[in-house]
Amino acid sequence: MGPFITDVPKSVLEDVIIKLPTKSIIMCKSVCKTWYSLISDPAFARLHFAQAEAYPMVRPMDRRSVSRNLFLVELEDSSGFDLKDHDCNRSRVHMNLSKYKFPLCHAEQLLNYHNVMPSHETEREVHMKITQIDDNNKKMDFSDTIAYMKQYDDNKYNLVNSCNGLLCLSDFFMNRPAAVCNPITGEFINLPHGPKHAKAMTLIGSGLGFSPRTNLYKVVRILKEQTPDRNKVAEIHTLGTGSWKSVGTAPCSDSELSFPTCVKGMLYWFCHGRTGCSVISFDLDTEEFQSVPSLPFWKGGRDVSMGDLGGSLCLCKTLSYKINAWVMDDSGPQKLWIMNISIHTGFRRRWPHGVYIPMKYFENDGLLMFNSRLNAFFYHHPGNHSPFIYLELREMKYSSSEAISHVPSFISLKDILVGKDVEILNINSRCAVLKLPGETEALSLVEENASSICC
C-alpha cells in the first residue's frame, strides 16, 4: 500500500504547509483531521505569522456603496514579477486572488427585520432572497426592501486600517470605529460605544495599532468639538475591555486624518491642512502623542500617500512624471526622513497621474503600489526588462476599489483579547446567507502598459 500522507513527520508537514498561499492553507484544513488539527493549533498560527509577508487586500467600492468582499492578492510563487515571456517580450505576473468577507453591520437587527428563504436551489449553490414583512403581513418587493435597509445605517462597514492581520472597521455614515475583524479566521468583535460628551463632537481620525511592550491591541480615535474653540480630544480602547478612556488633547488641525499606519508601536496619520502637511504620531506604549520630523515637502498634500514599507513608515509623493518615496529612519538619536526611491517615468504628460499608495517592497528592490484613480497596481523594478508594469483590476461590478497592505494571520481573536467577556462572532454565521446586491464574485488582474492605461 505504501506510506500515507499522514505518515509525514509533523515538523516536515508544518514546513511545507506554512509556505503555501493563504487560501491553500485554509483548503488544507479540509484534507484530514491531522491537517485540521495542525493548522488550527495556535503554535502553527504564531509560526505562520512570524514569516508571513504583507500583500495588498482589495475592496471594490464606488461613491455610494462598498462591497462586503475582500480580495487578498498574493504571489503564486517566488518568481513573482520578474519572469519574462520570450515569445511576446512581456512580463508574466503570477498572482493569486483569494476572496474573503467583511461581517455585516447590524446583522442580527437585519435578520430580525427580514425573513431569509431560498429562492432557487441547484446542486452547486443556494441563491438567497431577502424579504421583509410589513405590519399588514405583506411581502415587500426587492427594491422596497433595499430602500428599507438603507434606513438602518446601511449594513456594511468602512475599512479604517490593517494591523498584524486585523482590520479596523467603522460604521458607514459616522465613520466611527465599530468593529475589529480577522478576515482569514472569519472572527470579529464589536467595539463598545464611546463615552458621551457634553459638547457635540466630530471624528477626524481613528486607527488600530499594536503595543509591543504591553502586547496589547488598541484602537485610537481623535475627535474635535463642534464649537468655535475646535478643541481636539483623543480616546483609546484596548481590545478585550469594555470601555474607552480619554488620553488628553490631540495636536492636529481641523482636517480629517488619512492613511492610519501602525509601525513599531507607533500609530501615524497624515494630515493635509490649510497651513501645510504634517504627520501625527501616537505612542501606543506610553499612550502619548509624539513629535514627528518636518516633512521633506510642504505643499501638494493631495497627491501624497503613507504606509508601512518593509517595517518603516513611508511617504510617497507624485510630482509630474516623478514618484518619490521617503522612509523614516529611527535608528539614530533623532528620526529623519530619508529618500528611499525616486522613480523617473520619462513619460511626462502621458504618465498616469493620481495617488500611488505603497503596498510592498520586495527583497529584489521591486516596489508594488496601488493607484485608486486608475484602479490598478503599479510595479517598478529598476533592473527589470520592463521597469513599469501596470496590473489593472477587471470584472468588477463596482466602478473603483480601495487597497491596503495586509499581513494574513491565522491567530485567533481569543488569543489576542485582554478579557474573556467579549463576545467573538463569526462571519460564517447564519448571517452569511444574506447576500446583498452588487457583490463582486471575482476579480482579475490584466497587465497594461503606462501609455494605454492613462488613455
pLDDT exceeds cutoff 60 at 9: yes
Average pLDDT over residues 19-33: 91
Q: In this structure, how many other beta carbons lie within 10 angstroms of the beta carbon of residue 296?
A: 13
Task: Please tell me which residue, 149 or 426, carries the higher pLDDT value.
Answer: 426
Confidence of residue 421 (pLDDT cuts 50, 70, 90): confident
pLDDT exceeds cutoff 80 at 357: yes
Measure the CA–CA gap between 164 and 182, rounded to whole angstroms.
10
Measure the CA–CA gap between 57 and 238, rounded to whole angstroms.
25
Which architecture characterizes domain 52-106+153-453 according to CATH? 6 Propeller (2.120)
- Rounded to 10°, the helix 33-40/42-51 angle is 60
Query: What is the reported pLDDT for 437?
Result: 59
- Rounded to 10°, the helix 10-17/33-40 angle is 70
Contacts (Cβ under 8 Å, ≥6 apart) of 285: 211, 212, 213, 214, 265
pLDDT exceeds cutoff 60 at 402: yes
Query: What is the reported pLDDT for 170?
Result: 92
Average pLDDT over residues 422-451: 71
Highest mean pLDDT among 107-121, 139-153, 226-240, 259-273: 259-273
Task: Give the rounded distance of the alpha carbon of 326 from its chain centre.
Answer: 22
Confidence of residue 119 (pLDDT cuts 50, 70, 90): very low
Opening angle at CA 409, ends 48 and 361, nearest 5: 80
Average pLDDT, the chain: 80
Confidence of residue 87 (pLDDT cuts 50, 70, 90): very low
Measure the CA–CA gap between 377 and 392, rounded to whole angstroms.
6
Bridge-based pairing state of the strands 126-132 and 114-121: antiparallel
Length of the chain: 455
Task: Give the rounded distance of the alpha carbon of 256 from its chain centre.
Answer: 19
> In terms of pTM, does the model score above 0.75?
yes
Confidence of residue 135 (pLDDT cuts 50, 70, 90): very low
Task: Give the rounded distance of the alpha carbon of 273 from its chain centre.
Answer: 25
Average pLDDT over residues 137-141: 48
* All structural domains of the chain with their residue ranges: 1-51, 52-106+153-453
Task: Please tell me which residue, 80 or 412, carries the higher pLDDT value.
Answer: 412
**Lowest mean pLDDT, pick from 263-272, 419-428, 441-450:** 441-450
Percent of the chain residues past pLDDT 70, beyond the cut: 76
pLDDT exceeds cutoff 90 at 181: yes
pLDDT exceeds cutoff 50 at 433: yes
